[in-house]
Structure 1
């Protein structure tokens, strides 16, 4: 086992979320402030205890750069000793690293997202945002009037990888479709989901084609939202009233695919495999010990890749594995007959929050706070967030029963 001195020495003690909506007529800053205020209240701490801030929005215009100054000023936090920009899986890991290293003692992680800064009605009224969208990786004239083609650089490579996966392993799209059905089934029980209607596998296959073979139901749902988490030391957490959720192990993965998105040798060489390998090398737990699994679903192929990279099944076997582990009574996955997957509906149902809502859901489930949606006896959660190509993280959280 690799060295893991941070094992269970850190804890998540605060969670805060805003409403999710298709056009909330809000700024990133207002969403970030609301989520942060809720997280601080949830932790039951004085805001002046926060001495680190980490996070981002979808573009540099959001919570990155001087956005930290606006967030700190808006909250009225007098001083911080550490700040950093990060998104997808990296923000949470960066924040935990900062607390463990002593750069700060209590860190606020904030991530805000908007449906599209260049195309939503609220942003369209702002000439600065309209011009900025021309140079952003989101919006602008990409896809012209077809909002489904919302990315400059992401959808096409993932569609290509879907095709390669199907060809290399001789499989159909059932793995992607069953993941979509699972997430929408969970989303139908989540009052905060923007896509609450469940779907069938037939619905998945009948959805509009975007980039062949990627279809509409393979893609997460753009929304306006904000999420915030507070991480501190396990020692400090014991003095708080809230139930702590411990960070047991974590890893960030990276390969040379950052040079070019298509520059990778094979399916099992992408960054998800690197991150998961680094995690299991540092964890006392194994995949069979996991009660809840949260694989990022920016595209369904992400979630399939993470399932295989985590070791729930072998490469190329997800479709058959999902069929064998399907709970027909609830229309959801139960891996190994018990491990529930993406209990909040993920980006496909609740809405795209860059994975921040996966962390938030895992913490609330491990605290036992999800009411009718609560997974019984859940004490461990595996979260995999990020991209084949950048910011991939793997984190195991645990809580005492």
Structure 2
């Protein structure tokens, strides 16, 4: 087993979320501040105990020092000893590392997202689009006339991965379809989700093609939202009024695929496999011990890749796994008969939050706080966040009975 000196030495003690909406008419600072206040209050600590801040998002709290100063000032926190930018799953891992290393004692992780309707307008009408056209990494013309093709960091490479996966393993799109239906089914039970209308497998196959074979229902839903978490040491967590959720093991993964948006590496060589391999090498638990699994679903291909990389099945076998793991009474997955998947609906159902809502849902489930949606006896959760190309993380959370 690889070294893991931080095993169960850190804990998530606070979680806070804003409403999710398609156009909340709010600033990112407003969303970040609300989520942060909720998380600090949930932890039952004084705000001055926060001495580290990590922020992230597609267009986050004015990323960098100014953004952190704005949030810190709005919260009224006098001093911090550590700040850092992060994105997707990396922000959580960076924050945990900072606490374990002693750079700070209690860290606030804040992530905001904005739907940004201006993304669909022309460069002439939208200054943001004009800047993006100059500096965008895959070309400023992506998505100008078609809001479905909404990201500068666009879906085209992921559609390429979908086609390659289907060709290499001789499979159809069934794995993508079942993941989409599973996530929407869970979203239908989540009052915080923006997409609460259940869908069927037929609905998936009839949904609009964006980049063949990627369909509209393969893509996460852009929203306005904010999420925040508070992380501290397990020792400090024991003195707080909330049930701590321990960070059992974690890993960040990266490969040379990050050099290009060209898919030059094999399916099992991308960053998801690297992150999961690093996690399991440091964990006392195995995949069969998991009660809950949260594979990031920026696109359904991400979640399929995470499932295989985590070891639930062999490469190319997710479609077969999902078929035999399907619960037709609820239209959801129970991997190998027990592990529930993305119980909040993920980006496909609740809305795109860069993975922060996956951490928040996992923590609440492990605390036993989800009411009618609560999974009885949930004690372990694996969260896999990130991209084939950047910021892939794997985090294993657990509780004490």
Please tell me the TM-score bracket, short chain as reference. over 0.9
State how far apart, in whole Å, the 1-side matches of 2:280 and 2:170 are. 29
Identify the residue that residue 296 of structure 1 maps to in structure 2: 296
Identify the residue that residue 81 of structure 1 maps to in structure 2: 81
Identify the residue that residue 72 of structure 1 maps to in structure 2: 72
CA offsets 1:314-345 (integer angstroms, 9 cap, x no match):
00000011000001111100011110000000
Deviation (angstroms), 1:116: 2.0
Identify the residue that residue 179 of structure 1 maps to in structure 2: 179
Identify the residue that residue 220 of structure 1 maps to in structure 2: 220
State how far apart, in whole Å, the 1-side matches of 2:153 and 2:391 are. 15
Identify the residue that residue 21 of structure 1 maps to in structure 2: 21
CA offsets 1:283-329 (integer angstroms, 9 cap, x no match):
00000000000000000000000000000000000001100000111
CA offsets 1:236-256 (integer angstroms, 9 cap, x no match):
000000000000000000000
Identify the residue that residue 198 of structure 1 maps to in structure 2: 198
Does residue 337 in structure 1 map to residue 303 in structure 2? no
Greater shift, 181-190 or 56-65, is seen at: 56-65
State how far apart, in whole Å, the 1-side matches of 2:333 and 2:136 are. 34
Does residue 47 in structure 1 map to residue 10 in structure 2? no
Does residue 272 in structure 1 map to residue 265 in structure 2? no
Change (3 A) 1:304 1:91: same
Deviation (angstroms), 1:142: 2.7
State how far apart, in whole Å, the 1-side matches of 2:238 and 2:130 are. 48
- The CA RMSD over aligned residues, in Å, is 1.8
Identify the residue that residue 310 of structure 2 maps to in structure 1: 310
Is contact 1:99-1:232 (8 Å) kept? yes
Deviation (angstroms), 1:143: 1.8
State how far apart, in whole Å, the 1-side matches of 2:176 and 2:346 are. 14
Identify the residue that residue 243 of structure 2 maps to in structure 1: 243
Is contact 2:140-2:152 (8 Å) kept? no
Change (3 A) 1:135 1:60: farther
Identify the residue that residue 154 of structure 1 maps to in structure 2: 154
Is contact 1:192-1:350 (8 Å) kept? yes
Identify the residue that residue 363 of structure 1 maps to in structure 2: 363
Greater shift, 109-118 or 202-211, is seen at: 109-118
State how far apart, in whole Å, the 2-side matches of 1:373 and 1:326 are. 18
Deviation (angstroms), 1:400: 1.2
Deviation (angstroms), 1:135: 4.9
Deviation (angstroms), 1:64: 3.5
Identify the residue that residue 326 of structure 1 maps to in structure 2: 326
Deviation (angstroms), 1:141: 4.7
Change (3 A) 1:148 1:127: closer
CA offsets 1:21-53 (integer angstroms, 9 cap, x no match):
001001111100000000000001000000000
Identify the residue that residue 108 of structure 2 maps to in structure 1: 108
State how far apart, in whole Å, the 1-side matches of 2:375 and 2:136 are. 37
TM-score between both structures, scaled by the size of structure 2: 0.96
State how far apart, in whole Å, the 2-side matches of 1:204 and 1:47 are. 45
Secondary structure, in 3 states, of the residue corresponding to 1:66? helix
State how far apart, in whole Å, the 2-side matches of 1:398 and 1:60 are. 29
Deviation (angstroms), 1:144: 2.2
Identify the residue that residue 375 of structure 1 maps to in structure 2: 375
Deviation (angstroms), 1:117: 6.5
Greater shift, 65-74 or 360-369, is seen at: 65-74
Is contact 2:113-2:224 (8 Å) kept? yes
Identify the residue that residue 260 of structure 1 maps to in structure 2: 260
Structure 2 residue runs without a partner (length 5+): none
Identify the residue that residue 6 of structure 2 maps to in structure 1: 6
Does residue 354 in structure 1 map to residue 357 in structure 2? no
Structure 1 residue runs without a partner (length 5+): none
TM-score between both structures, scaled by the size of structure 1: 0.96
Identify the residue that residue 56 of structure 2 maps to in structure 1: 56
Is contact 2:157-2:263 (8 Å) kept? no
Number of residue pairs matched by the alignment: 398
Deviation (angstroms), 1:133: 5.0
Is contact 2:61-2:112 (8 Å) kept? no
Greater shift, 297-306 or 260-269, is seen at: 260-269
Secondary structure, in 3 states, of the residue corresponding to 2:118? coil
Secondary structure, in 3 states, of the residue corresponding to 1:210? strand
Identify the residue that residue 167 of structure 1 maps to in structure 2: 167
Is contact 1:264-1:270 (8 Å) kept? no
